[in-house]
Amino acid sequence: MPTITHKQFIQAPVEICFDLARDVDIHTKTTAETKEKAVDGVTTGLLEEGDTVTWEATHFGIKQRLTAKVTHMEKPFEFVDIMIKGAFSSFTHKHQFVERDDGTLMIDTFKYKSPFGLFGVIADKLFLEKYMREFIIHRSIELKKIAENIECIQSHNKEI
């Protein structure tokens, strides 16, 4: 079962980072290259513990659907979502937010199991683990840009 861990420092308060990471509308913006959109469950706004969302996206040229459920939330420091229906045999995505003096350390830990037994293991080694790592990194970079822009705007407004 591959585990991908990515850490991203963001110069913004932990509350902003936490809310952006669980915002369905922001998720759509940060995954535009896969045309990801929420089509069932919570389709807009902030996800809460117990919520489900079905995402439709194009990966490897194939339109796919995946339903995830938020199973744990400790505001504003952590939430966990798991796949309840989709292309993987299973996945767990833990989102952690560690408050720092000058911002927030966002930590994504994504554990998944590919379908198709041995063929899935081979796919992981050949391309899937790399693809998923790049997907998570890209999304965290986009979240960083949005969060730091919000923080910049809020600081500017306080000065006026």
Mean pLDDT of the chain: 92
Structure confidence at residue 156 (pLDDT):
40
* Cβ-based neighbours of 7, under 8 Å, separated by 6 or more: 105, 106, 107, 108
Q: Which CATH class is domain 3-159?
A: alpha beta
Per-residue pLDDT tens for 88-114? Answer: 999 999 999 999 999 999 999 999 998
Per-residue pLDDT tens for 7-44? Answer: 999 999 999 999 999 999 999 999 988 999 999 999 99
| Cα gap 50→148, rounded to integer Å | 29
Whether 160 has a pLDDT exceeding 50, the answer reads no
> Residue 119 — pLDDT band, cuts 50, 70, 90?
confident
Structure confidence at residue 89 (pLDDT):
92
| More confident position, 81 or 126 | 81
* Cβ-based neighbours of 36, under 8 Å, separated by 6 or more: 27, 28, 55, 56, 57
> Residue 122 — pLDDT band, cuts 50, 70, 90?
confident
